[in-house]
Amino acid sequence: MPAKLLRCRVVPALFLLCIFPIAAMAGSTPSYVVTNDDSPGFFPVSATFYGVGSTGLLTLDKFVTLTGSGIAGGYFNANRVVALNSSNNQCIFASAAANGEITGISVSTLEIGGSATGSSSDTGLSNGVGLAVNNQYLYAGYTDSSNIGTFQVQSGCSLTFISDVATTGLQGGFISGMKIHGNMMVVTYGDGSIESFNIANGPPVPNGDQQNSTAYNTSQGASYPNGVDITQDGHFAIFGDTATSNSIEVSDISSGKLAATVAYNVGAQINSSNIMLSPDETLLYIANTQGDALTAAFFNATTGALTPGCTSNNLKAYGTAWSYLAGIATETNTGTGGMIYAAEFGLKSSIAMIQVASANGKCTLTESTKSPVFDPDSQGLLSITSFPPRSF
């Protein structure tokens, strides 16, 4: 079964808060941070769009109401909202855990372009529905069935369901994290095992490399790969572990299959379930999901090696307004990413805004004096993304 450490849930607040959307400036290139609010029960699921200012600060722009309801919890690293920026489609896709429906939103209009569901078992009431997308296909990881659903991306941000592929981890874990690069999809199962698939023809085909990670084996099951990212050249897959340490694992995938992972401990913080490479690949950002800080480790994109970098101070309102850190996004697609954003899970969910500086082998992470920005439509924020998204 998936590690209990991965899951979190809160009871929704019994009030309804309404905010009028602020119109985006006409004629400007859209730049957003977008949430999947994952609202449970009788609250409809929504995606909240925050405009990104010139200094990286966020301003609430618009709520977009989706079909279905959420669960205000689940796997930290299952990305419930993803962005697509292709020549003919600029979209945000968000999932609803209760019925598994996936909705596409046009970035140009902030209106719904279409929605789709998979098969009857394709839902995420247990731990949500994670997403990954490229120019042609969207993939959905359903935590109730452990199916990976494949959808054709259509014009106008609509979707057409193609098929399911059944998956399971070596210890019986269900699909957790997913990342795609070129013709490869890399997944984690939340039970210590990882696997890759060939997606050249759309639906995933196993590459025959399913394995337990090195840290899982050496820690006697106390470390589980969950978050996953892939380098721009497709040479390395990087895994963030749910563990009682700041554990990161790296696999060489240049052969087209996963090699045995190399494990690194990159600091004193706890839990590394959510990770993201900076646009220039010099830093790996780590949301210490069972702590109150963000960590950055130095990454060597040539060798795949990681070395300790820096950790922020305790983020504001931890333990009073929010309980866990989760999804990560960046302000820009160049350099170290500008402002770093991190989802803060709680009854008063919010997004932390953290400034990064890096030079001469040293870095700092400093929370903005304007941080955090409140997400009034969420009682359990786990997933955020930025638009335009990182290019890889």
DSSP H/E element including 345: strand 340-345
pLDDT tens sequence across 170-219: 999 999 999 999 999 999 999 999 999 999 999 999 999 999 999 999 99
- Quick check: 96 pLDDT over 80? yes
User: pLDDT confidence of 28, banded at 50, 70, 90?
Assistant: low
Residue of higher predicted confidence among 74 and 11: 74
Residue 124, number of CB atoms within 10 A of its CB? 28
**Strand partners of residue 311:** 295
Dist. CA 209–CA 342, nearest whole Å: 32
Mean pLDDT estimate for the chain: 92
Dist. CA 52–CA 32, nearest whole Å: 5
**Contact call for residues 166 and 146 (beta carbons, < 8 A):** yes
User: pLDDT confidence of 43, banded at 50, 70, 90?
Assistant: confident
Residue of higher predicted confidence among 1 and 163: 163
pLDDT tens sequence across 295-322: 999 999 999 999 999 999 999 999 999 9
> Which pLDDT does position 67 carry in this prediction?
86
**Contact call for residues 188 and 226 (beta carbons, < 8 A):** yes
> Which pLDDT does position 236 carry in this prediction?
99
The first and second tokens of residue 359, run together, are 């030079």
Helices then strands, counting H and E runs in the chain, come out as: 1, 30
DSSP state letter for 275: E
pLDDT tens sequence across 322-374: 999 999 999 999 999 999 999 999 999 999 999 999 999 999 999 999 999 99
Please give the full DSSP string across 97-138, using - where no structure is assigned. Answer: TTT--EEEEETTTTEEEEEE--STT---TTT-EEEEE-SSEE
The first and second tokens of residue 246, run together, are 């700041």
Dist. CA 184–CA 128, nearest whole Å: 23
The first and second tokens of residue 390, run together, are 């990182």
Dist. CA 255–CA 339, nearest whole Å: 35
